[in-house]
Structure 1
């Protein structure tokens, strides 16, 4: 932390911020910003996310502004932080998963009976998790927050080593189960399915240790999404059956069991079971009958607002475009994240391909590809990749041939 941070201060001035204005927007004292720029202090992890957003930089770029002597360039791709070609980073992440998995199953106090209680950390960890989920939901490029999530996972693992009571251990396991689901979501969006599965598996184990049934059911449901993406519908249905049983033991005022049903409908659609799919969708629709707070905006975000999209996806998978069209168009009429919107547009392109409407295929596909490029979302890329077989009968048209080629390039990049 030695020396003045000219790049950091320059970026602030470039965007028209005075020290006072930046401090006010961050909710800190002006002297705090002064200490950051003089190199006498560093922003806390909770402050870095908002600071990066205000300065319009990614997390790695903010690190470079704060540490100009670092070898990494200022414009470093965020996705490189979780690039599968970087074996060292991947082994480090998997090592943390393995270590955390061992710690959550150890009896409390084993070898650490004299260690201090982590109560002070627990009081601040849950708001941090909630804040990270909010940033993840709002971010157009999901990989940007991976460094912060990775940092907090390391802190949690260290705290687990010093736990001394069973109540402390259960509370920490709940926090671990929450945060590893977020890590899995980031990796899933980057098409890192194996690593995402590791995170979801650990999240489920931690939630089980915490006796937190809703958290446990949600971790299993996210794991099932991987199976759905890979079109392993039998495997997904088995996982979701377990998730449904666990969810029924949770809080009946939360939407957990309804979300499980919505995802089950997709697995049943993949298995060609229309009547069972409709029953699952009907159960998911019952979320609208719940009152009060039905979801927390983090590991549980289902409130029924996406049911039109999910219903359309199911009917398209079942080969019922007559039923899918209305639902998919309805889905675009509500507020969707860029990732979800890109997925719906890809589904509409597939629907248009089924009817042979080349103009609409090109229109929806290009809109979906633009969102995939903008967000770097492997989820949208995977949806578009599923469109390619439907394009084959239309390949005589040069626009479709070119589109097929571009989707192939996009999937390879993802």
Structure 2
């Protein structure tokens, strides 16, 4: 079945008219082919600077490439046209280059930087101590990401770590060391993907997750491979293309079965699968998947940061599933419980509040929906998260028919102040 283009553009048509291929555009612009295909399918907004680069190569104007971007179409928050500075665009290009090569870091006292520096000049001298130090740096990067606001503030460290690991990866040939480096690089690629997902740059996030999955496959790291596919599935889930997420998650679940049963990967993949199938209205599949996800409550092992999933996340996920299934009477009490018990960060709280607002809307309680949405807007502004802002815009779109209500007009003004 042909999928609806959520952000239509004329990239595919203009390439055909110019007699150009995606590969030729990739060679001229250094934008990954996977990203170009993603944009050509209309599944993500093409950032402003990339529209200029594409237009230059194709021989058209930026407006010709994406006319609907310029005629007042209400599209999600686009960092390229507002807060995304030229410095961030440069970092994004650097990341995409690193991922194509793969096919800084944090200064801490317990890492042997002299040994790492020596290995950078003589890559074949890399040893277990160097790789163990790189693992420590990876862990620190993830820890900083989880507490950082905005999430993009850790991007420099992540890029530095990726650059170092890919440098080693190109040179090392010993199988065991090569696989360890592949696993480390996959972890950092997933972290970079999370940063760009938070910025609502889904095309770049997709490139990160595809690279991460390939690296984890090379490493034969099944839990890491499954986690890359779970993160990849978030892109279609949060764009409302639930049916596109299902095959990714089915593959992820099969990989997780080959992984470490002491890790929560199996529960995480099942919980995310529950989100996807609830979006297409499959109640039976949702119930079965969520039952599998509850296995996480039996686990006691301390988990690596890249698979951070625990029992505390289940209520919010279950509430979100009930919202997608159109069962607000079941969603609301669960989400209220999640708000009290598991909203440990502003990001998590904002996500729960957004679902509560949607639940209230489904019950035609406009005033309550606006109350929840007002706090979500405030938290989105504090976090500088494009992901959270787009959650707010989804609520705003559903409230448009009720613009005559004072609370809705006040919310519109609050959202406008985010720009």
TM-score (norm 1): 0.73
- Tell me how far apart the structure 2 counterparts of residues 137 and 115 of structure 1 sit (CA, whole Å): 31
Alignment match of 1:267 (pick from 276, 288, 291): 276
Query: Relative to structure 1, is the Cα distance of residues 84 and 407 closer, same or farther in structure 2, using a 3 angstrom cutoff?
Result: farther
Q: Decide whether the 8 Å contact of 1:288 with 1:304 is kept in 2.
A: yes
Q: Which runs of 5+ in 1 are unaligned?
A: 1-76, 102-113
Q: Which residue does 2:399 correspond to in 1?
A: 391
- Tell me how far apart the structure 2 counterparts of residues 218 and 370 of structure 1 sit (CA, whole Å): 31
**Aligned residues between the structures:** 321
Shift of 1:295: 2.5
Q: Which residue does 2:139 correspond to in 1?
A: 130
Select between 120-129 and 182-191 the one with higher mean Cα deviation: 120-129
- In structure 1, the residue corresponding to 2:340 is in which secondary structure? coil
Q: Which residue does 2:308 correspond to in 1?
A: 301
Alignment match of 1:348 (pick from 356, 374, 398): 356
Q: Which residue does 2:102 correspond to in 1?
A: 100
Q: Which residue does 1:276 correspond to in 2?
A: 285
Q: Which residue does 1:40 correspond to in 2?
A: none
Query: Relative to structure 1, is the Cα distance of residues 396 and 143 closer, same or farther in structure 2, using a 3 angstrom cutoff?
Result: same
Shift of 1:399: 2.4
Q: Which residue does 1:324 correspond to in 2?
A: 331
- In structure 2, the residue corresponding to 1:368 is in which secondary structure? helix
Shift of 1:401: 2.6
Alignment match of 2:208 (pick from 177, 199, 206): 199
Within 5 A, what are the aligned runs for 1:80-229? 83=85, 88-101=90-103, 115-119=123-127, 120-229=129-238
Query: Relative to structure 1, is the Cα distance of residues 188 and 278 closer, same or farther in structure 2, using a 3 angstrom cutoff?
Result: same
Q: Decide whether the 8 Å contact of 2:367 with 2:407 is kept in 1.
A: no
Q: Decide whether the 8 Å contact of 2:322 with 2:331 is kept in 1.
A: yes
Runs of 4+ with >4 A deviation: 79-88
Shift of 1:394: 2.2
Structure with bigger gyration radius: 1
Q: Decide whether the 8 Å contact of 2:326 with 2:362 is kept in 1.
A: no
Q: Decide whether the 8 Å contact of 2:370 with 2:407 is kept in 1.
A: yes
Query: Relative to structure 1, is the Cα distance of residues 257 and 84 closer, same or farther in structure 2, using a 3 angstrom cutoff?
Result: farther
TM-score (norm 2): 0.72
Can you list the C-alpha shifts for 1:53-107, whole angstroms capped at 9, x where unaligned? xxxxxxxxxxxxxxxxxxxxxxxx9x99965896544332211110012xxxxxx
- Tell me how far apart the structure 2 counterparts of residues 337 and 190 of structure 1 sit (CA, whole Å): 18
